[in-house]
Amino acid sequence: MTDLPEPRVLGVATALPPQVVDAERAAATIERLFPDESPERIRALIARSGVEQRHIVPDLEEIVAGADFTARNDRFRPAALELAHEAATRALERAGVAPDEIDVVVDVSCTGLSIPALDVPLAKGVGLRRDVQRVPISLSGCAAGALALGVATRFARAGSRVLVVAAEICSLTLAPGDTSRTNLVASLLFGDGAAACVIAPEGDGPRVTHVGTRLLEDTEDLMGFRYGNEGMRLVLEPELPAALAEQLPDAVRAFLRASGVEAEDLDLHLVHPGGKKILDAYERAFGLPADGLFHSREALRRHGNLSSATILSVLGSALDAGALPAGGRALVIAIGPGLTLEMTRLTGS
């Protein structure tokens, strides 16, 4: 696989809704949503979450009032499309690629249901060709952004220029009246946003040297969504951190060896910030220094968890900061339902 052409990441961009919710406003709102929880406990959870602020589409009073699944899903499509359009346009500009030069668009989302998928109106709005190949990815959760990088890389190796766009409105998935611990965790962590990137067979930018995926053993039921009359209910089982701690290191090391490097050879780790505990576990597993996951932690602090869009946003922030020098080696990894690990190795140009 390493003998195949190595596509380039030409441009990455993030788009966020204008409304910002800081920790104080979040605490006050969550206290109203979870009246049986003590305010002290809620504020302690927020303090430990690693999230200081988030951008969201609906206003806080709308979230507190609640709405049925139909109303919330009706909000999803226009909000996601607006953010996707902004992220895609900016990524194309950064890449120096005209919309009509894109051959494939990979559209990623899991926080709303929409048929046709967002890629149909997005193609028209951005100005893509009418014969652009559209690849919608849904139901892959937080791993989907990294999964899309792998899909895009395979198209680029065959000569196509690919636009990847991930748009998530996580705030609309909070089920009204659900006072479960899982819904509480979701209310602490998730934000809204979109991110996009351009992958091409040639150009200036980091080289994609290897992509891969790993399914972890006996973990199918530990993370996901269940659908019901109230919409989507997040599934996060308490066994998840232990399962990751046990299986993730060997899976990552196997992927890296297949790409010709060891974990100790990496200059940059870009991990989807699914939560502070996941980042802590990853740091311990690979003996990273205190700032070893700076870009992941900074994304969590400033935006919360944007589901599939987060890993693309983390990648963009790292590249903007010049964190991947020429010849440097980076791992991009996201964890999603399955449990699945979606991984991409980059080499700085």
The predicted-structure confidence for 301-320, as pLDDT tens digits, reads as follows: 999 999 999 999 999 999 99
Tokens representing 37? 């929880």
User: Do 32 and 136 sit in the same domain of this protein?
Assistant: yes
pTM of the entire predicted model: 0.94
User: Do 167 and 63 sit in the same domain of this protein?
Assistant: yes
Residue 27, pLDDT score: 94
CA nearest to 236, candidates 308, 337, 305: 337
Positions annotated as catalytic residues are 142
Domain boundary among 141, 169, 200: 200
Residue 1, pLDDT score: 41
What single DSSP character describes residue 168? E
Residue 233, pLDDT score: 80
Place of tokens 């740091």: 283
Which residue(s) pair with 235 in the sheet?
224
**How far is Cα 120 from Cα 105, in angstroms, rounded to an integer?**
10
- Sequence-ordered list of residues with C-beta below 8 angstroms from that of 212, at least 6 positions apart, any chain: 150, 255, 258, 259, 343
The SS3 of residue 289 is coil
User: Do 97 and 146 sit in the same domain of this protein?
Assistant: yes
The SS3 of residue 251 is helix
Residue 305, pLDDT score: 95
Place of tokens 């040639």: 202
Chain Cα centroid distance, residue 32: 28
Residue 164 maps to a domain: yes
CA distances (Å), 188 to each of 63, 65, 176, 183, 208, in order?
13, 18, 15, 9, 34
User: Do 76 and 223 sit in the same domain of this protein?
Assistant: no
Residue 3 maps to a domain: no
Stretches in the chain below the pLDDT threshold 50: 1-2
What single DSSP character describes residue 79? H
Q: Are the beta carbons of 268 and 286 closer than 8 angstroms?
A: no
Dihedral (C-alpha) 132, 152, 79, 95: value to the nearest 10 degrees? -80
Residue 167, pLDDT score: 98
Q: ω into residue 201 within 30 of 0, thus cis?
A: no
What single DSSP character describes residue 304? -
CA distances (Å), 200 to each of 85, 104, 133, 208, 253, in order?
20, 10, 15, 10, 27
Place of tokens 């937080």: 142
Domain boundary among 200, 231, 259: 200
Structural domain of 45: 8-200
User: Do 113 and 60 sit in the same domain of this protein?
Assistant: yes
User: Do 84 and 129 sit in the same domain of this protein?
Assistant: yes
Number of folded domains that form the chain: 2
User: Do 188 and 244 sit in the same domain of this protein?
Assistant: no
In 3-state terms the chain splits into helix, strand, coil percentages (rounded to 5) of 45, 25, 35
User: Do 222 and 155 sit in the same domain of this protein?
Assistant: no
Domain boundary among 183, 200, 217: 200
User: Do 169 and 229 sit in the same domain of this protein?
Assistant: no
Q: Are the beta carbons of 88 and 97 closer than 8 angstroms?
A: no
CATH of the domain at 121: 3.40.47.10
**How far is Cα 296 from Cα 289, in angstroms, rounded to an integer?**
14
**How far is Cα 185 from Cα 274, in angstroms, rounded to an integer?**
11
User: Do 87 and 232 sit in the same domain of this protein?
Assistant: no
Chain Cα centroid distance, residue 336: 10
